[in-house]
């Protein structure tokens, strides 16, 4: 009896030791996301993290989070196949981090997705305009925004693009829409734009041609800018989450 119990105990321990090696799978890819601590976009960031963590767990990829640009070097970025900019602006970056990011994008060392804040381009908090980043975003500069936000009807312009797979041709969404000194359209491939005549409630801050999702095809990295990224409720919008999900696997080439 004792020998049987010892054998069973030994067998159980062996199974426990073997199971992790058998069940752990190599992640499909590694992503890193940068987001500020606090501020007006904190609720969106927290909702995004919950949603991203679930997607990562369900789809077998890993995602790390950083809160400032200090870790960003070429060596650091080399371990990631996707860089996600969760409401982190383009102006407090050091020269070292700028150079590492530019190389990452220009040489296609990984993919990039930016939400809302990356087009806050200009001179802010005594930080000069990052000219390379302005070109990357379509040669634009931030002009104005809609405080408190408003809903608008979004129209998909390129239904054939992988990012728009399963997305309705039009849907309503809400944000604190940014406007720029000019439309980025001549310099980027626009995937979706908003109809400013559908603002609800009506707002006077408008720019005419108003792209809100686009990709810059003049760099090697797969990249996507998504203007919507202020309100946490966006992650309850099925069209929005479909776009984000598609963008992640497209930009990471998975």
User: How many DSSP H helices and E strands does the chain contain?
Assistant: 6, 11
pLDDT in tens, 80-105: 999 999 989 999 999 999 999 999 99
Which tens digits make up the pLDDT trace of 192-213? Answer: 999 999 999 999 999 999 999 9
Domain that includes residue 209, residue range = 28-251
**Rounded Cα–Cα distance for residues 88 and 229 (Å):** 11
Residue 4 lies in a domain: no
Contacts of 45 (CB under 8 A, 6+ apart): 35, 36, 86, 87
Number of domain units in the chain = 1
pLDDT at 52: 98
Contacts of 28 (CB under 8 A, 6+ apart): 59, 60, 61, 252, 254
* CATH code of residue 193: 3.40.50.880
Residue 206 lies in a domain: yes
Residue 167 domain-assigned (yes or no): yes
In a domain, 122, yes or no: yes
The DSSP code sequence of 35-51 is --SSSTTHHHHHHHHHH
Which helix (H) or strand (E) segment holds residue 171: the answer is strand 170-175
Share of the chain above pLDDT 90, in %: 87
Q: Is residue 129 part of a domain?
A: yes
In this structure, is residue 16 part of a structural domain?
no
**What is the strand order of the sheet 189-200 is part of?**
62-66, 30-34, 82-86, 111-115, 223-226, 211-215, 189-200, 150-156, 170-175
Residue 76 lies in a domain: yes
Average pLDDT, the chain: 92
Of the pLDDT bands very low, low, confident and very high (cuts 50, 70, 90), residue 24 is: low
pLDDT at 238 over 50: yes
Whether residue 15 is contained in a domain is answered as no
């Amino acid at each position: 009896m004792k020998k049987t119990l010892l054998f069973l105990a030994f067998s159980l321990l062996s199974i426990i030791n073997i199971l992790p090696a058998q069940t752990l799978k190599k992640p499909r890819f590694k992503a890193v996301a940068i987001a500020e601590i606090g501020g007006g976009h904190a609720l969106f960031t927290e909702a995004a993290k919950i949603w991203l963590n679930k997607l990562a767990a369900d789809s077998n990829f890993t995602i790390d989070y950083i809160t400032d640009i200090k870790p960003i070097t070429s060596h650091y970025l080399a371990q990631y196949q996707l860089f996600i900019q969760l409401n982190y602006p383009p102006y407090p970056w050091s020269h070292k981090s700028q150079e590492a990011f530019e190389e990452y994008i220009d040489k296609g060392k990984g993919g990039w997705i930016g939400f809302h804040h990356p087009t806050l381009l200009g001179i802010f908090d005594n930080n000069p305009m990052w000219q390379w980043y302005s070109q990357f975003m379509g040669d634009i500069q931030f002009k104005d925004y809609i405080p408190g936000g408003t809903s608008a009807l979004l129209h998909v312009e390129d239904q054939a693009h992988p990012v728009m797979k399963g997305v309705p041709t039009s849907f309503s969404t809400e944000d604190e829409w940014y406007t720029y000194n000019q439309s980025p359209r001549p310099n980027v491939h626009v995937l979706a734009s908003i109809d400013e005549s559908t603002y609800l409630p009506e707002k006077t801050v408008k720019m005419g041609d108003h792209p809100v999702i686009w990709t810059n095809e003049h760099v090697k990295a797969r990249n996507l800018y998504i203007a919507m990224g202020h309100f946490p409720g966006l992650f309850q919008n099925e069209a929005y989450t479909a776009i984000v999900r598609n963008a992640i696997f497209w930009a990471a080439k998975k």
